[in-house]
Chains A and B, each alone.
Chain A
């Protein structure tokens, strides 16, 4: 390749990197977020054209087949998926990226053994690390997807000696990896295959014991894993482009993960190794025994309560997402506002399955941003609130987090809905929340339950308010 062409490719990569960084910067604000995504898309297009020029069309038919299949699958799935299934979709795409990084290392392993590409110690270390991390991310993301899609239990899967098994698999990976590096990739092929298989197994074992309530944290962590794998792949292929993009994502994913862990007031190690909710699943918290005694209310009663309130705060959770109730909630809010009721929405940082999950859904229903209040802003409001309407949220409203030190969620900051004059909880049944623990809120004297599908219940409330 001529020097001019190499220079053009390097400059194209630089432009792409600039567009990625500027695009991420634009994602700081709702006003510029779409432009940010578009800029990143243009950056990606430039980078991909540059790499196609760089490879001079070698193996072009294979590349074209891969891009055609992957592009069709990716776009089709993205357009078809329901807004509520977004989190698991992100998990799947993330897993695809991790799998790609791992496969690159697998192919590179055989290519270097053929001798046509030189091996050295940096390539050996990065090849094995990106194979391991990519495989963990791939397998872990698929388990996260299966859990969120409810194709397998969302509960933590635990068994005796789990940590020991995980530890042994990790040690096995470390030993095989060391063998690989010491021999500069000239170990028997079965050793390498066993290593990749063990890394896949570790990915599965790593996510299995984590309950659905912690999935946002896990997806974010796996996202940063894939970023890391991509950055390391960059060392393998001596690609500045991959290193920078991978590092950007690795840093952002780590930061998001830490922020989420902080919001739940639990160190990351606790999320990952605590098997959250496993112990509390059947135990009753705080000495309450037997089935909980709750008051059940009718839609008409609740409608009157809402219509004559001065201030109502909606507390959406995963139940709203499942029932696709966001448009109904907005309709109810409109009715109430027409009657002069002050309306706001309380958004817990980990409500739903991902940070910002509720914001996205409510934005879809055209709820104004300024009505969406973060936990710190909304908690002082509850004591002066007439009705807190909890729509399919559970664990993020559980007062046990404040005062029951034996509760698995003890110490997690919650929305203080129990301080409102009235709390109405819309819920499908008395089944416990995703963390698998009972919620003493439901037994409080100011609380009442409205059972049923969230969308159906909210629609009922809207027509009842209209009829008043």
Chain B
């Protein structure tokens, strides 16, 4: 049976987060759009947390064949590529904005 109030509160959280996303981001100047896209890309790397949960679920379950084990490891690997690569590439882009506010 679906626990309705549980999912309604998750839905509420989703809607509020969408509004926060629009508000926080709509002020970013054009020159930071590429780093911003890269940073948000890294943040959805949180899917790695989901991949970790699914590995734990799989290993806790009675039936887990080698194929599923490989697929779940692949999920963690892809999530890790997203997180580590995403943040590293954003960091590299932002290193270029270090000095020279104003400049000549």
Contacts and interface: CB of A to CB of B under 8 A. Distances in A.
Interface of A: 20-21, 23-25, 27-31, 33-34, 36-37, 40-41, 44, 47-48, 51-52, 54-56, 58-59, 62-63, 65-71, 73-75, 77-79, 81, 83, 86-87, 89-90, 92-94, 96-97, 99-101, 103-104, 106-108, 110-111, 114, 116-117, 120-122, 219-220, 223, 226-227, 229-231, 233-253, 255-256, 337, 347, 349, 354-357, 359-360, 363-364, 366, 368-372, 374
A247 B14 contact: yes
A20 B43 contact: yes
Contacts, number: 393
B31 A372 contact: yes
Contacts of B20: 21, 248, 251
Contact of B10 (A20, A31, A240): A240
Contact of B51 (A78, A93, A104): A104
Report which residue of A63, A83, A121, A355 has the largest number of chain B beta carbons within 10 angstroms of its beta carbon: A63
A107 B71 contact: yes
B60 A58 contact: yes
A96 B46 CA distance: 12
B22 to A, nearest CB: 5
B40 to A, nearest CB: 5
Contacts of A99: 74-75, 78
A30 B31 contact: yes
Contacts of A250: 18, 21
A48 B24 contact: no
Contacts of B35: 27, 33, 37, 356, 360
A242 B7 contact: no
A87 B55 CA distance: 31
Query: Nearest 4 A-B pairs (CB), nearest first?
Result: A70-B80, A66-B76, A368-B103, A251-B21
Nearest to A69: B77
Given A97-B82, A249-B40, 5 more contacts: A27-B36, A40-B39, A104-B75, A226-B47, A360-B31
Contact of B47 (A31, A77, A223, A242): A242
A63 B55 contact: yes
Interface string B24-38: 111111111111111
Contact of A74 (B28, B40, B82, B98): B82
Contacts of B51: 66, 100, 103-104
A249 to B, nearest CB: 4
A21 B28 CA distance: 13
Given A69-B80, A255-B26, A355-B33, A90 B38 contact: yes
B39 A100 contact: no
B25 A252 contact: yes
Contact of B18 (A106, A116, A247): A247
Contacts of B73: 62, 65-66
A26 B75 CA distance: 30
